[in-house]
Amino acid sequence: MAIRYLEEKKIFQLDTKRTTYLIGLTPEGYVGHIYYGGRLKGEGSNYLLRMGEAPYTPSVNLREKSSFLDFFSMEYPTGGVGDYRESCLNVRGEAGSIGCELLFTSYQIRKGKPSLEGLPASFGRDEEVETLELWCEDQVLNLRVALSYSVFADCDVITRNVRVENAGSEHLKLEKVYSACLDMDNRDFEMMTLPGSWARERSIQRGKLRFGKQLVSSTRGESSHQEHPFMALVTPETTQESGKVYAMNFVYSGNFIAQAELAQFGNVRMVMGIYPENFCWNLKPGDHFQAPECVLTYSDQGLGLMTRNFHDFYRGHLIRSPFLYGKRPVLINNWEATYFDFDSDKLLAIAREAKKAGIEMLVMDDGWFGKRNFDDSSLGDWTVNEEKLTSGLPDLVKKVNEMGMEFGIWFEPEMISPDSELYRKHPDWAIQIQGRRPTQCRAQYVLDLSRPEVVDYAYQCVADILHSAPIAYVKWDMNRQLCDIGSSYLDKDSQGELLHRYVLGVYEMQERLIREFPRLLLENCSGGGARFDPGMLYYSPQIWCSDDVDAIERLRIQEGTALIYPLATMGAHVGDCPNHVVGRNTPFETRGHVALAGSFGYELDITRISQEEREQIPGQVEMCHQYQPLMQKGDYYRLASWTMEKPYDCWEVAEKDGSQALVTFVQVLAQPNMHSRFIYLKGLLEDAVYSLEGTEEVYTGEELMKCGYLVPSEKGDFRSYLYHFIKR
């Protein structure tokens, strides 16, 4: 059993393959956090709750209840009653005051994992996962709260979510509902996060935890380029292979907070959930609110094990697409080839050359609809521009299919242009504050997806186009953040629900899309990587990682992304040079090797590149097909990091059974007067013998892992090498 209730000790014990999580109850019914860490061989004990020392529990020392609440390790702290650290639940009653105190009432342990209404969530068969529900109650408010813990033992992952129910007669307001909390003593922790910006998303940042609150968050209506719904607390000695790691990742695509607070007594509170700014949910009698899911994992073998836990979990228990392990076509996207300046003839010319090179899909990006000749019009008018596609979309798709290629298309369904027929007809469909001129970004507004008719309209526009022709792939984009947070649909008492309802609207549309078109390959995008989060992976097996496809910039971006997410989830293309974002020139071979670490494709005008580069494409396509299964299923190891001030970058993907491993080495900057470099492989079988593909070299697994493999030092920046080791 993964979950046990030790009734005599009043302890819930949650065990995975390598970890144990302990929850304890006080005599009054407070739900306390006892322990999360390496797997315990025996039963847990509640002495770690410190109930035997001052200020004692309220049943022993009622006069110091606040002192108790302000120190006790809570599983789910509430606001307004004496715990002055960060709360997870703030409830405002009809009288206008905030105060909530939850005490345990009952529990249920079940096989399997319930779905979450309207939200993306993990899943698993009964033999793979067990779920604990702890029901608590505030007897003054008649508020019932279910704390849910699902234990995925083989992945060393525990997911958490919270459901709040109004069982009373008061009209309550939820002003904060987080999804997870972890209280523990400080171990000289450092905080690791993934900040960034457009075209440089998800840089790895690590720094010492200080007294007070340190947080990352988004108030942009999406998980954002600038921050990421991930946080880890690590001990100072933590490397890829050693050290303790406590990590959280949020299965949500809107505003979030991830915060660590080092409090006065040296204890740490780590929380994650929906950001409370501009959030207020009406909870009328009989209503309930379901908070999104949070993924927790613990590693005592460094960041590498944390990474592989997340990868295995997302592949096995979150991504539902048939393309998860299936063959994905090598595509070419026309965006950086043509931008808005294209027509049918230009697209067909690209397709013909791409087909000769072995590329399997043409993707038509922005500019095919309405009067869209620049980014300042027509969003919302999803009708084909027949001045560009002179014989219509079905005919274009037919001609591409007749070449033996599949066809894909770009949409931005959540947006509306001020210069559009839709806006002229329905200006109230845009998110806006009444009486205030809305703020434009990229000359566009955001549709109010809290309105059911807007969700229906936006979805039907996409569905109608997909029904009109055999389209195999959709790139779903979202190119601006949310502001002017107001809805003419919601009443004045419900405006605080808009941001969450917007995200629910996105989820509803994408759920309808994959159900109506189950063989569709959906790739999410948000100006690149602004909505690269677990919530989106529930609907699409890959997400456009960044609008910056420069191979050297992608080393850092893809390293940060792969810290949490499987390689095959990263949309990664070979781009043109000079690169359109940074102007850098890199070898075509290096661009291919770096893009191989993700979902492989091309972002260039194949009709204009050099013959030398064009001749490399068939080999790169063959390379992609050869290694794609390994990239989709294998274990990822970070062997060296250019962003950590190495002159080179290196990563490995190894088959789980140790039968093969692919190492990618990128010499970012050549160094004078240097000898060869050792790289030390991981995940091999010590006693097995491995051949290096393309050579007659033979090594034992023990040699490659303990003694290392020598990479030559050669002249030239931005050079790259692939090393494929195969078990004999």
Q: Are 266 and 184 in contact (CB under 8 A)?
A: no
70 tagged catalytic: no
Q: Are 13 and 39 in contact (CB under 8 A)?
A: no
- Coil, strand or helix at 433: coil
Distance CA 587, CA 613 (A): 9
Structure tokens at 632: 């989709």
Distance CA 566, CA 537 (A): 10
Distance CA 159, CA 538 (A): 15
343 tagged catalytic: no
C-beta neighbour count of 29 within 10 angstroms: 15
* Residue 674 burial by Cβ neighbours in a 10 Å radius (0-12, 13-18, 19+): exposed
Q: Which amino acid is located at 419 in the chain?
A: D
Distance CA 409, CA 463 (A): 12
CA dist list (Å): 582 to 396, 576, 577 = 33, 11, 10
- Coil, strand or helix at 594: helix
For tokens 């390994």, what's the residue?
Answer: 630
Q: Are 56 and 77 in contact (CB under 8 A)?
A: no
Determine which helix (DSSP H) or strand (DSSP E) holds 461, and give its type and residue range: helix 452-468
Report the half-sphere exposure of 590 (CA within 13 A, side-chain side). 25
Task: Kindly name the residue from 381, 477, 533, 548 that is annotated as catalytic.
Answer: 477
Distance CA 17, CA 29 (A): 29
Phi then psi dihedrals of residue 53, to 5 deg = -130, 160
CA dist list (Å): 256 to 155, 240, 507, 683 = 25, 27, 16, 35
Phi then psi dihedrals of residue 74, to 5 deg = -90, 145
C-beta contacts of 237-242 below 8 A and 24+ residues apart? 238/190, 238/302, 238/303, 239/302, 239/303, 240/302, 240/303, 240/304, 240/637, 240/638, 241/301, 241/302, 241/304, 242/301, 242/302
Q: Which amino acid is located at 413 in the chain?
A: P
Please, what is the Cα angle at 280 between 279 and 282, to 5 degrees? 150
Task: Kindly name the residue from 533, 547, 550, 605 that is annotated as catalytic.
Answer: 547
Task: Name residues whose C-beta falls within 8 Å of residue 606's C-beta, 6 or more positions apart in sequence.
Answer: 332, 337, 350, 353, 354, 357, 359, 614, 617
Q: Which amino acid is located at 180 in the chain?
A: A
Structure tokens at 470: 């055999």
Eight-class DSSP state of 429: G
CA dist list (Å): 502 to 174, 445, 452, 455 = 17, 14, 10, 9
Per-residue burial over 307-327, b if 16 or more Cβ lie within 10 Å, else e, is: bbbbbbbbbbbbbebebbeee
Q: Are 164 and 176 in contact (CB under 8 A)?
A: no
Please, what is the Cα angle at 266 between 261 and 270, to 5 degrees? 30
Report the half-sphere exposure of 439 (CA within 13 A, side-chain side). 8
Nearest to 478 by CA among 415, 410, 520, 536: 415
Per-residue burial over 399-419, b if 16 or more Cβ lie within 10 Å, else e, is: bbbeeebbbbbbbbbbbbbbb
Distance CA 87, CA 317 (A): 29
C-beta neighbour count of 583 within 10 angstroms: 9
Give the residue numbers annotated as catalytic, written as ranges.
477, 547
